[in-house]
Amino acid sequence: MRLLIVGTLKGQLTTATKIAMDNHATVMHSEDNEQAMRVLRGGKGADLLMVDVALDIRDLVMRLEAEHIHVPIVACGIVNDARAAVAAIHAGAKEYIPLPPDPELIAAVLAAVANDSRELIYRDESMARVIKLAQQIAASEASVMITGESGTGKEVLARYVHSRSNRAKKPFISINCAAIPESLLESELFGHEKGAFTGAVARRIGKFEEATGGTLLLDEISEMDVRLQSKLLRAIQERMIDRVGGTKPVPVDIRIIATSNRNLQDAVREGTFREDLLFRLNVVNLKLPPLRERPADILELAQHFVKKYAEANGVPLRPLSSEARQVLAANRWPGNVRELENTMHRAVLMAIGDEIGAEAIISPEGERLDIAKQPPAVAHATMAAEQVTRALVGRTVADVERDLILETLKHCLGNRTHAANILGISIRTLRNKLNEYADDGLAIPPAGASGDHRAFVPVT
């Protein structure tokens, strides 16, 4: 846990620092926003900023956003400074801590940031086998590829491996390759020199250097542009990186863990992922089964989330009724653990009486899961998939994939987001596929298209 304190905290700096260090945090200090930005650009990094409310928090938030530095801010000020507290929250601070600092409050904030819902909860034998393999390889220097559907807990497992490695006391740095625009991802990974491009106002240390000595998690690596993959391969092979605009290589010492919710062998065949990079990353593969294939974990996780959100929301801890347990066990959980967590959060808030009943197990739209009907778009997509599979023999995988994507998009009335969710691919992957089909001369329906068959050029 890396804490950066910005400002004097109204004379309470020493006390706050001691409390944080007593709670196993590594503490750094900056006098003002400018010095804080220099620390963050310099590669030391931080998991949390504790900022004096007397400083311009909005300015700091805007600076962080402009340079794509993502770190939560907690504001600190004197107890009776209510107006400043409200202003700090409106400016972008996640929380306000009154001064003098309360040891228990600071400990709770640090624990919330450090844990961040990353407990590894399991009981099912299929999950136990994955954890056993993770334990066996944790102490090695081998690169690890963690695969599984979205929401299965790939980052949780990556942190588990790091925490049991010889690098556990060094940084664990994560970067989501799908969440950062391609034009910025190279700079985020490898850093840049001042003036390397428009907006590069100062030297910025990238994630590779920030993770030196520790572990770098490349989340959803399958979404990385193939041109950047060659630079990544060189960095992994040679343990050297080149900052954007730099003139000399920089040595790095890191362990790589990568995750993907796609089949990378298919991506290699499609030409969207380098085979040599896959070989480098896939020294050990930890494949997380979907929640529907680990039934013993469903109730274990559900009870864990009930307790968590009952405490977080200050409501009584209620047990799950037998009917609620049956509903949970029967659901397919396409969103896996992430969907289950959100469902149990809602259940805790909606429950009435001494138990959490089946009526509290609802969808985000408020429909009961035990009586919810299949959405029309899903039904149409299922029918389309069945029609495609009737004539698979003699056709290429690419042809079948193309037809399935276009048919699903048609039945979603051109809605890219819905189609991507049904197909189980990212919106970026869907757009890339559609651009590829358009380049081949196929007509692609615009968003909101009627779904009329005549909107398409026949695909043969």
pLDDT at res. 377: 56
Q: Would you say residue 199 has pLDDT above 90?
A: no
Instruction: Report how far residue 229's alpha carbon sits from residue 148's, in angstroms, rounded to the nearest whole number.
Output: 21
Q: Would you say residue 454 has pLDDT above 60?
A: no
Q: Would you say residue 306 has pLDDT above 90?
A: yes
DSSP 20-38: HHHTT-EEEEESSHHHHHH
Please state which of the ranges 124-128, 219-223, 374-378, 414-418 shows the lowest mean pLDDT.
374-378
Residues 87 and 135 in one domain: no
pLDDT at res. 84: 83
CATH, residue 134: 3.40.50.300
CATH, residue 323: 1.10.8.60
Instruction: Please tell me which of 91-95, 147-151, 183-187 the model is most confident about, judged by mean pLDDT.
Output: 147-151
Residues 149 and 252 in one domain: yes
Q: Would you say residue 217 has pLDDT above 90?
A: yes
Instruction: Report how far residue 108's alpha carbon sits from residue 1's, in angstroms, rounded to the nearest whole number.
Output: 13
pLDDT at res. 154: 95
Residues 155 and 67 in one domain: no
DSSP, collapsed to helix, strand or coil, labels residue 170 as coil
Between the alpha carbon of residue 265 and those of residues 143, 262, 283, 383, 425, the distances in Å are 17, 9, 14, 27, 15
pLDDT at res. 391: 53
Residues 272 and 300 in one domain: no
Question: 6 and 17 in contact (C-beta within 8 Å)?
Answer: no
Question: 355 and 320 in contact (C-beta within 8 Å)?
Answer: yes
Please state which of the ranges 315-324, 356-365, 420-429 shows the lowest mean pLDDT.
420-429
Q: Would you say residue 301 has pLDDT above 90?
A: yes
User: Higher confidence at residue 248 or residue 449?
Assistant: 248
* Residue 229 domain flag: yes
Query: How many whole angstroms from its chain centre is CA 54?
Result: 33
Tokens representing 143 are 């690169």
* Residue 347 domain flag: yes
Residues 279 and 333 in one domain: no
User: Higher confidence at residue 141 or residue 389?
Assistant: 141
Residues 268 and 323 in one domain: no
For the segment 176-197, the average pLDDT, to the nearest whole number, is 88
User: Higher confidence at residue 441 or residue 304?
Assistant: 304
- Last residue of a domain, which of 360, 388, 407? 360
Total count of domains within the chain: 4
The DSSP code for 248 is S
Residues 152 and 260 in one domain: yes
Q: Would you say residue 438 has pLDDT above 60?
A: yes
Q: Would you say residue 379 has pLDDT above 50?
A: no
Q: Would you say residue 313 has pLDDT above 60?
A: yes
Q: How confident is the model at residue 144 (pLDDT cuts 50, 70, 90)?
A: very high
Q: How confident is the model at residue 448 (pLDDT cuts 50, 70, 90)?
A: low
Q: How confident is the model at residue 237 (pLDDT cuts 50, 70, 90)?
A: very high
Per-residue pLDDT reduced to its tens digit, 93-124: 888 888 888 888 888 787 776 655 456 888 99
Q: Would you say residue 453 has pLDDT above 80?
A: no
Instruction: Report how far residue 178's alpha carbon sits from residue 185's, in angstroms, rounded to the nearest whole number.
Output: 9
Residues 280 and 299 in one domain: no
Tell me the backbone φ, ψ of residue 29, rounded to 5 degrees: -135, 140
Per-residue pLDDT reduced to its tens digit, 45-56: 788 999 999 899
Residues 177 and 235 in one domain: yes
Instruction: Report how far residue 115's alpha carbon sits from residue 354's, in angstroms, rounded to the nearest whole number.
Output: 30
Place of tokens 């942190």: 159
pLDDT at res. 455: 37
* Residue 371 domain flag: no
pLDDT at res. 281: 95
pLDDT at res. 450: 42
* Residue 444 domain flag: yes
Q: Would you say residue 386 has pLDDT above 70?
A: no
Question: 1 and 25 in contact (C-beta within 8 Å)?
Answer: yes
CATH, residue 51: 3.40.50.2300
For the segment 323-343, the average pLDDT, to the nearest whole number, is 94
Q: Which class for 385: exposed (0-12), middle (13-18), buried (19 or more C-beta within 10 A)?
A: middle
Residues 89 and 149 in one domain: no
pLDDT at res. 460: 34
User: Higher confidence at residue 301 or residue 374?
Assistant: 301
* Residue 427 domain flag: yes
Q: How confident is the model at residue 394 (pLDDT cuts 50, 70, 90)?
A: low
* Residue 64 domain flag: yes
pLDDT at res. 457: 37
pLDDT at res. 292: 93
pLDDT at res. 103: 85
Instruction: Report how far residue 104's alpha carbon sits from residue 86's, in angstroms, rounded to the nearest whole number.
Output: 22
pLDDT at res. 204: 87
- Last residue of a domain, which of 115, 139, 174? 115
What is the chain's mean pLDDT, rounded? 86
Residues 174 and 317 in one domain: no
* Residue-number span of the structural domain to which 382 is assigned: 376-455
- Last residue of a domain, which of 115, 150, 183? 115
Tokens representing 94 are 């996640």
User: Higher confidence at residue 126 or residue 377?
Assistant: 126
Residues 148 and 100 in one domain: no
For the segment 362-388, the average pLDDT, to the nearest whole number, is 65
* Residue 252 domain flag: yes
* Residue 370 domain flag: no
